[in-house]
């Protein structure tokens, strides 16, 4: 493995430690994106081969390809074909795009924690109370998000916000609807600071679709676990792609 770095070897070794399920894709994006932002993986450095890297991270090669595709789409990595090809850190990765960009700090963490509380609470009640009309609305929104592949992110995000508010509406709690509307506005502020690769959106919407199926089955336990995984995945993506204000 030949990776240029100006940091101690232990920092580089930490990048390639095994990734833990169930958010292997999102954690891989976070691990590599953070290493690029911090300079542990230097501009122009070449990543290990797909086989070697998948073995080091203890993930499937398909999951690794999805994570690398995400980081290529976000401008962090470059894939080069041919005999001398491979996957390289971009010479000018997006480290400090936008003066308001900040790495995840206390304010962001407070929003993300608040989101977990609201989303999981709404999921519990929606699994218990959702009507057929509620579920039909959620299914329509997941179909709309699936149709937005390649479109402007704002088109997807509007349906995404409406889905999560629809989840709160399915709980039949007016206070949860108000809280969900608030937290989605705060999440939009965070999400606006990162790139929006199609791979991430596709995986996120697949979780939306699974969630609706679990709500229909009144499976509270699995629905809550999936929502927690959904929120945690967003946290990993934000941590990996959020530009550093001090870059």
Q: What is residue 97's predicted lDDT score, i.e. its pLDDT? A: 42
Token pair 């080069």 in the structure block, residue: 80
Q: Where in the chain is the domain with CATH 1.10.10.10?
A: 9-89
Q: Where in the chain is the domain with CATH 1.20.120.530?
A: 106-241
The list of the chain residues with pLDDT below 50 reads 1-2, 5-8, 96-102, 245-247
Domain 9-89, what fold?
A: Arc Repressor Mutant, subunit A (1.10.10)
Looking at domain 106-241, its CATH class is mainly alpha
Q: What is residue 152's predicted lDDT score, i.e. its pLDDT? A: 81
Q: What is residue 104's predicted lDDT score, i.e. its pLDDT? A: 62
Q: What is residue 245's predicted lDDT score, i.e. its pLDDT? A: 40
Q: What's this model's pTM, rounded to 2 decimal places?
A: 0.83
């Amino acid at each position: 493995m030949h990776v240029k770095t100006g940091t101690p070897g232990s920092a580089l070794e930490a990048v390639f430690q095994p990734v833990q399920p169930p958010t292997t894709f999102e954690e891989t994006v976070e691990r590599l994106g953070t290493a690029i932002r911090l300079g542990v993986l230097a501009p122009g450095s070449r990543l290990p081969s797909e086989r070697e890297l998948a073995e080091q991270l203890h993930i499937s090669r398909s999951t690794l390809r999805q994570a690398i595709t995400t980081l290529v789409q976000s401008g962090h990595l470059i894939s080069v074909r041919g005999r001398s090809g491979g996957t390289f850190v971009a010479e000018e990765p997006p480290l400090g795009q936008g003066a308001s960009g900040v790495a995840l700090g206390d304010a962001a963490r407070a929003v993300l924690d608040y989101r977990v509380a609201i989303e999981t609470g709404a999921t519990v009640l929606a699994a218990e109370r959702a009507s057929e009309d509620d579920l039909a609305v959620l299914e329509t929104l997941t179909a709309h998000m699936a149709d937005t592949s390649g479109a402007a992110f704002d088109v997807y995000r509007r349906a995404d916000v409406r889905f999560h508010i629809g989840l709160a509406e399915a709980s039949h709690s007016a206070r949860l609807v108000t809280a969900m509307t608030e937290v989605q506005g705060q999440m939009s502020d965070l999400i606006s600071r990162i790139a929006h690769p199609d791979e991430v959106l596709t995986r996120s919407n697949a979780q939306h679709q699974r969630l609706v199926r679990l709500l229909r089955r009144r499976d509270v336990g699995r629905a809550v676990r999936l929502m927690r995984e959904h929120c945690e995945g967003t946290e990993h993506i934000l941590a990996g792609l959020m530009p550093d204000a001090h870059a």
